[in-house]
Amino acid sequence: MPISLVATLNREYPSFNWSARLLSLHENHNIQLFTSPLCLTITFYFAAKKSGEIVAKKKIELLCENIGITTINQEITEKAAKNQKINDFEEGLQYYSALHQKCDCIVTED
């Protein structure tokens, strides 16, 4: 979900409309949303480039108050690294992190 989070925090159109709606599912429909620490890192990087580190950190703090954070540990990292079907390591980490959290679906812009 990094692209969606980046679009939301930086108000990047046209993705902002869809990403903001996605994040509103938590508030409006009591759906639990998760992201990974890796997504937050990517999101912080782009938000800091646009708004500065202090503002970006505040945005990340607010985000963390409203969505769950998955885990990326050694087991998840090894699964992503060993799976020959995964060509994009970062996406593999996201995938296994979501599976570990027992997420029902994964939302990406790919």
pLDDT level of residue 7 (50, 70, 90 thresholds): low
Is 90 exceeded by the pLDDT of residue 13? Answer: no
Distance CA 82, CA 75 (A): 11
Dihedral Cα 37, 42, 47, 50, nearest 10 deg: 170
pLDDT level of residue 110 (50, 70, 90 thresholds): low
pLDDT tens readout for residues 56-88? 999 999 889 888 999 999 999 999 999 999 999
Task: Decide if 72 contacts 60 (C-beta within 8 A).
Answer: no
Q: The whole model's pTM is what?
A: 0.78
Using alpha carbons, select from 83, 86, 94 the residue that is nearest to residue 43: 94
Task: Decide if 9 contacts 63 (C-beta within 8 A).
Answer: yes
pLDDT tens readout for residues 26-54? 666 778 889 899 989 988 998 999 999 99
Question: The tokens of 96 are what?
Answer: 């296994």
- Tokens 């599912």, located at residue: 25
Question: The tokens of 94 are what?
Answer: 């996201």
